[in-house]
Amino acid sequence: MNAGQHTTRRLAARAGQSICRSCRESISRNNYATAAAVAVQSEDQVSHAIPPVAQASPSTAYAINAGVVLSRPPQITRDLHPFESAFFLYQKRLNERLALPFSRYFYFKKSTPADLEWKRKIKQRLTPARDIGRYKGYGEEAWNDEVLVGAKESDLQWQVERLLEDAATDGRATGEAEQKSAKNIERELFEKPMPRRTEADEKNDTKSLNRALQRTLYLLVKAKDGKWQFPEDRLNDENIHGAASRIITQCGGLNMNTWLVGHVPIGHHQYNYTKPTKLPSGLTEHGAKTFFLKARIMAGQANLKDNKLGLKDFKWLAKDELQKEVDESYWKSVKNMLAER
């Protein structure tokens, strides 16, 4: 006797009714068939619950465009996070503490020019490392040597200026008589590092590639309809890679040394026309789909003077700046293609 028969008998006993032999045999025979029928019925119900997929009409069409995400990669290292700056300053000061008992006679022979120059410089510096402030390792105030929040010693530009000042001096006191030598002239002509902020940063010149050197900049153009977007054009009996190469030349001119990174699109954007267009072939064009290829600029600059795409203006913008210029729907399509830095 199976579980179905036990269940039937228990239900009948509870209801005070008896089941005839023929009924019991029919229940026994139809036990598995009934379960299979229920399973089929549930599958049919699930299949009917799924809505049918809307298929596009054979007369519906979309234009295929090729777009170019032309970028200039970062030229310098990124700006340090405040925590990183504080940690590096802590490391420098810790190394200075470890170097305090410096045995100069191990490195410089006594009374040699190198030894005299070292003594002059340490007398002027008052510390082995001028760029991070003076460290008084001995005395009653030796314990009170932590850098306070907002102190000038923690500023990176202040540290650079102190290092340049130290490199330009030989340790002699101001006004001390000395005769110019080739060595002194060489000290005055040492190379100084370029600033991290350029003139284009100060003027916020968005057409310059010499701006935001620690960020990735993207070429954004103003199309005929006044919208800002990446350079794009319709395919003309060519593949997407060939179209992208053509678009770069027709958009920015020949004065750009560029490189198309690959042949596979990195993203796409679809938009519908406000009014469908009837094509000569009888199809109705409802919109366009733009597939973007990635490219890099190594040298040169964009020039829209003789462009053949009807572009009105251009800008080199970082990702957060680009978001403010393009439409919301366009931004949702392209944001994941762009680098944060």
DSSP 170-230: -SPPTT------HHHHHHHT---PPPSS-HHHHHT-TT-SSS-TTS-EEEEEE-TTS-EE-
Residue 71 exposed, middle or buried by CB count within 10 Å (0-12, 13-18, 19+): buried
54 domain-assigned = no
Same domain for 212 and 279, yes or no, is yes
Count structural domains, the chain: 3
pTM of the model: 0.70
CA distance 11 to 29: 19
Q: Are residues 32 and 102 in the same domain?
A: no
| Domain stops at, among 158, 188, 218 | 188
207 and 331 inside one domain: yes
Quick check: is 123 in a domain? yes
Question: CATH number for the domain including 248?
Answer: 3.90.79.10
For residues 288 and 318, state if they share a domain.
yes
Tokens 């620690």 locate to: 214
Q: Among residues 164, 188, 212, which one ends one of the domains? A: 188
**Are 212 and 332 members of one domain?**
yes
Is 165 in the same domain as 67? Answer: no
276 with 293, same domain: the answer is: yes
Same domain assignment for residues 219 and 134: no
Q: Which of 9-13, 26-30, 174-178 has the highest mean pLDDT?
A: 174-178
Selection from 201, 329, 214 nearest residue 272 by Cα: 329
Are 230 and 252 part of one and the same domain? yes
Question: What does the pLDDT look like over 292-302, one tens digit per residue?
Answer: 999 999 999 99
Residue 180 has pLDDT above 50, yes or no: no
Lowest mean pLDDT across 78-82, 94-98, 312-316: 94-98
Residue 221 shares a structural domain with residue 178? no
Which pLDDT band, with edges at 50, 70 and 90, does 161 fall under? confident
Rounded mean pLDDT, 190-213: 89
Single out the residue in 169, 188, 207 at which a domain terminates: 188
- Name residue 283's amino acid: L
Is the same domain home to 278 and 203? Answer: yes
Does any domain span residue 193? Answer: no
Q: 81 falls in which pLDDT band (50, 70, 90)?
A: confident
The answer to whether the beta carbons of residues 8 and 24 sit under 8 Å apart is yes
Range of the structural domain that residue 218 is part of: 60-76+199-337
70 and 88 part of one domain: no
Q: Would residue 252 count as lying in a domain?
A: yes
